[in-house]
Structure 1
Amino acid sequence: MKHLTILTVDIGTSALKAVLYSADGSVLALSAQPYRYQTPQPGWAEARPTDWWDALTAALAELQVAGFDLQRAQAIGLTGQMHTAVLLDKAGRVLQPTILWLDRRAAAESVELQARLNLPPDQFNSTYTLPKLLWLARHRPEVLAQTHALLWPKDYLRYRLTGQLLTDVTDAAGAGLLNWNTRNWDIERLELTGLSAAVLPALRQAGDDAGALKPSVAAELGLAPQAKVIVGAGDVIALMGASPPKVGRFSASLGSSGMISSLIPASLAVDDPQRRMYVYPFLPYRLLNGVLSSSGASLDWARRAFYDDKAPLSPEEATAAASSVAPGAEGLFFLPFLNGERSPYWNDALRGGFYGLSFRHNRAHILRAVMEGVAYSLRHLIEISQDLGASVQEIALSGGAAGSVFWAQLIADVRQRPLLIFGGQESVTRPLYAYCITALNVNDSFDAALRRTFDRPLRLEPRLELATIYAKGYHRYRLLADFAAERLS
């Protein structure tokens, strides 16, 4: 068993990655294959799913040329971008257009669906699948008339591998087609587009068996025909791969945008009636999940806007400038809502801003206020998670913000919790490895398998002497943020 390998695949918006793991959870090899999406009109974005398949075949060929025997890959797991629907005709051919998640043509349909169904915007914004299907029904009805099956990126590639039409609850939720109470399809919503339930794939859990490889496909790709294929999940599982699974740990991944999560035992019934947070079933857990629109992007904007746009401060220079200012930024506050906000407000019209600006403030104050504003927004989501039943004893930070020890320490200080920074970047494929190992029945638990993929973290302790300063600052931040969300947008 020690010689087996695990093949994981991540279908991104602009590249596909095939990551090969050893049995013990070490990354053996990685192949990344880029592709482009099309923008036929401003605000539109479309993909060619056949490009994903071509990228997969190229990635596997590259791994084999590098000397890796894919016949040893005993299990295969896939993940990928969410919200992007792939429509198939009766013969299994792709019906274009394949509208990407970042396409905004269905903004009007999104607003209409929110009002029509009296549902919160976390279930219907223009990134989601359902508004795009309604747009197709109105503007390209001939496409939906030919639609025999509805899939998402990981499901399309898995369909090419196995011939099975399946998906999981994360992509069903990301489509806006999941009934959150029953965790099954919401057929009435789908029927608003003119499609019937017959087009929907079977719903499965991420670690479930997804059927055998087609013998001809296995031979074409150099894979073992007996390799086990699992269902997989949308790329939201990166939240589980940001740190080793642990109840009591709050995970935050801060890049241009941000994703946060907390684990709760699956035995506990948890829901957020206000729909500030998602609740995903990732056995043996439930995953509380939130999304921030402009976390790291806010600092990038400040580095350009308040310095030389042609030669903005480096992240290291920005950190040095911000660290020259006392905690609390001398009363300057920043709302990090430069492109609306998702969790917890779900308000595209919400906008950012500064409060408390005076003659004593300079550009360094601006930078520190931006960093503190993002930290306050994280604290807000941490407290919501706690209200919903999550225990938050420590914070795990990943993404670009984790590269700044100063910013990480600031986050620890604002919430007064220890903060951990784990190395490694394969957050999205780590959980796939763990699901695959578990599916092989090698007497290994999901938790144990996932933990093996991590090294010892850097640990930062909160500075108790700053607790009062940041408690007062957070209180003021909440007054400002809630007022902006309720009265100014």
Structure 2
Amino acid sequence: MTVTGDAPMLLAVDVGTSALKAVVYTAAGQTLAVATQRYAYATPQPGWAEGDPEAWWAAFCAATQALRAQGLRLDQLTAIAFTGQMHSAVLLDAGHTALSPTILWLDRRAHVETELLQQRYQLPPYQLNSTYTLPKLLWLRRHRPDVLERTAAILWPKDYLRFRLSGLLATDLTECGGAALLDWPTQTWALDRLAFVGLDASVLPPILPADAIIASPRPALAAELGLNPAAGILTGVGDVAALITGAPPRPGRVVCSLGSSSMVFMALAPGQRAQDRADRLYIYPFLPPYRLAGGVSSTTGAALSWMHQQFFGQQSPEVSFTQAAEKALAVEPGAEGLIFLPYLAGERSPYWSDEIRGGFYGLRLSHEPRHLARAVMEGVAFSLRHLLDIYAEMGLPVTELALAGGGANTPGLAQIIADACGHDAAIYTAEETVTRALYALCQQALGQEEMAVALERTFGPPRWVRRRPPLAPAYAAAYAAYRRFSAFAAQEAAPDHVPPPSPFPEQQK
């Protein structure tokens, strides 16, 4: 593609776990070009995952070269914004060189440290879990104190790329919240937690608004990469911003992004106050102008894939995923008394438990694989309805559902969700990509339009699935059974409250 003319262009960069994507947008939101560069991460031990920040920077440089090879005039860019994987702290030494390797978000080595921190600080589960930065810093304090002794600054992946490009150390609130280093009420650094892991406050960067234009490319790098040296570089935002790219956020609308796990949220109206005192759902305040009440269901799409593989994947001739779903749809609602709990890898909302387990209840000799498949699909729908009940308890009326992500295209699943939850569902099939949120953020930063207005324009019209009221009694009975068995599973998974070990091995006798 050859691009000519002097129309403003916006460069949105997403540094992911295994690939970097760079997208160039026009001011109207049209995608001009995309470049993707892949890289590997290491798994030196089971449960470990480590990345190389230098590989991310090399991928960014290669992506700019690939965009220029497509005919893009990057010297005409108006703004540049970064996003990326969260929780993965990049530790820098006194010369601001990355202390590789970086422990990535999906690394689970710090599960003991997570328990130690939770015992000490009693944080809500959405503010602290083993994917977050703080437990990994405590792991380093206990097992690799030499690394922390050399640490002079902490950034996160998108901040690291912005630093390499501009020389400015900074971050935004999404990263602070995802690090478990933020005091949520004051939205300032929780310095007592940092001190607990043995680091000084000087290692933390300033917290700046996500839409602030805070720098420009270093002139030498701009010349090397073919960038406009006057382009404004935004603070940027963590990839949690992908939440708002599945469907347009609106008060009263619950958006469910159906992937291997499912993100569920509702945008609050301006000035609207809400709280779940049981901490099953949380209020996420770090994506202005949106305040999101939401949570995560851990293994929704993963449960569907498991169902296909276990019940149909070994059959001959092979049964496709679509065919398996169609067999399930031939079973009446309620799956002839069969209930499925989709907790195949623990559950986040509403239980926030790594120990809770899924399973079937009500199996009979007459049940066939199609009944089990139907129960799995209904279990996924009921996990969403459970969260809708919590919204009601919080005083947040639900008026409609919006479904997005790959799971929204599973044959019949949207209809089951609409029927089981008792709400019409708007289906959005456009690709979810966090770079669309960056485009909208850039438009706001440049003073062109409000972020919400720019984001809304990036969505096409939805396809509607209408609920079928005559099926409500059957689903109500099945859902009541689901809730009973769900409560039983949660009770069985309750911790025994064994006192944790000492935070630091050298203190153990």
Which band: TM-score by shorter chain? over 0.9
1:395 pairs, out of 375, 394, 401, with 401
1:318 pairs, out of 321, 324, 327, with 324
Match of 2:412, SS state, is: helix
In 2: Cα distance, 1:392 partner to 1:305 partner: 35
Taking structure 1 as the reference length, what is the TM-score of the superposition?
Answer: 0.96
Alignment of 1:299-310 (within 5 A): 299-309=304-314
**1:58 and 2:67 are equivalent in the alignment:** no
**1:332 and 2:338 are equivalent in the alignment:** yes
1:164 pairs, out of 154, 162, 168, with 168
Q: Judging changes above 3 Å, is the alpha-carbon distance between structure 1 residues 274 and 188 closer, same or farther for their aligned structure 2 residues?
A: farther
In 2: Cα distance, 1:32 partner to 1:391 partner: 41
The two structures, once aligned, show a CA RMSD in angstroms of: 1.7
In 1: Cα distance, 2:121 partner to 2:348 partner: 19
Match of 1:188 in 2: 192
CA contact (8 A) 1:266 1:283 kept: no
1:8 pairs, out of 12, 16, 26, with 12
* Residues 269-299 of structure 1: per-residue CA shift (max 9 Å, x gap): 4443332223222222211231121111111
274-283 vs 448-457, greater mean Cα deviation: 274-283
Match of 2:361 in 1: 355
Q: Which runs of 5+ in 1 are unaligned?
A: none
Match of 2:491 in 1: 486
Alignment of 1:262-277 (within 5 A): 262-277=266-281
Match of 2:478 in 1: 473
In 1: Cα distance, 2:118 partner to 2:319 partner: 41
Aligned-residue sequence identity (percent) comes to 50
In 2: Cα distance, 1:330 partner to 1:89 partner: 62
Measured after TM superposition, the shift of residue 400 of structure 1 is: 1.7
Match of 1:455 in 2: 460
Aligned residue identity for 2:407: A
CA contact (8 A) 2:6 2:76 kept: no
Q: Judging changes above 3 Å, is the alpha-carbon distance between structure 1 residues 390 and 16 closer, same or farther for their aligned structure 2 residues?
A: farther
Q: Judging changes above 3 Å, is the alpha-carbon distance between structure 1 residues 30 and 426 closer, same or farther for their aligned structure 2 residues?
A: farther
In 1: Cα distance, 2:314 partner to 2:160 partner: 42
Match of 2:294 in 1: 289
395-404 vs 311-320, greater mean Cα deviation: 311-320
Match of 2:501 in 1: none
**1:36 and 2:59 are equivalent in the alignment:** no
CA contact (8 A) 1:398 1:421 kept: yes
* Residues 5-27 of structure 1: per-residue CA shift (max 9 Å, x gap): 11111111111111111211122
Taking structure 2 as the reference length, what is the TM-score of the superposition?
Answer: 0.92
Match of 1:346 in 2: 352
Match of 1:420, SS state, is: strand
113-122 vs 309-318, greater mean Cα deviation: 309-318
Measured after TM superposition, the shift of residue 391 of structure 1 is: 3.8
Match of 2:155 in 1: 151
**1:96 and 2:100 are equivalent in the alignment:** yes
In 2: Cα distance, 1:117 partner to 1:310 partner: 51
In 2: Cα distance, 1:91 partner to 1:275 partner: 42
CA contact (8 A) 2:241 2:434 kept: yes
CA contact (8 A) 1:265 1:284 kept: no
Match of 2:78 in 1: 74
In 2: Cα distance, 1:22 partner to 1:232 partner: 18
In 1: Cα distance, 2:206 partner to 2:409 partner: 41
1:416 pairs, out of 415, 418, 422, with 422
Aligned residue identity for 1:406: G
Q: Judging changes above 3 Å, is the alpha-carbon distance between structure 1 residues 198 and 310 closer, same or farther for their aligned structure 2 residues?
A: farther
* Residues 415-468 of structure 1: per-residue CA shift (max 9 Å, x gap): 1112112232143111110010111112x1212100111111111111111122
Match of 1:259 in 2: 263
Measured after TM superposition, the shift of residue 266 of structure 1 is: 4.3
CA contact (8 A) 1:263 1:390 kept: no
In 2: Cα distance, 1:383 partner to 1:206 partner: 33
In 2: Cα distance, 1:180 partner to 1:339 partner: 28
CA contact (8 A) 1:245 1:450 kept: no
In 1: Cα distance, 2:217 partner to 2:396 partner: 39
Match of 1:94, SS state, is: coil
CA contact (8 A) 1:45 1:103 kept: yes
How many residue pairs get aligned? The number is: 488
Q: Judging changes above 3 Å, is the alpha-carbon distance between structure 1 residues 108 and 488 closer, same or farther for their aligned structure 2 residues?
A: closer
CA contact (8 A) 1:113 1:131 kept: yes
**1:366 and 2:372 are equivalent in the alignment:** yes
Q: Which runs of 5+ in 2 are unaligned?
A: 495-509
Measured after TM superposition, the shift of residue 71 of structure 1 is: 2.0
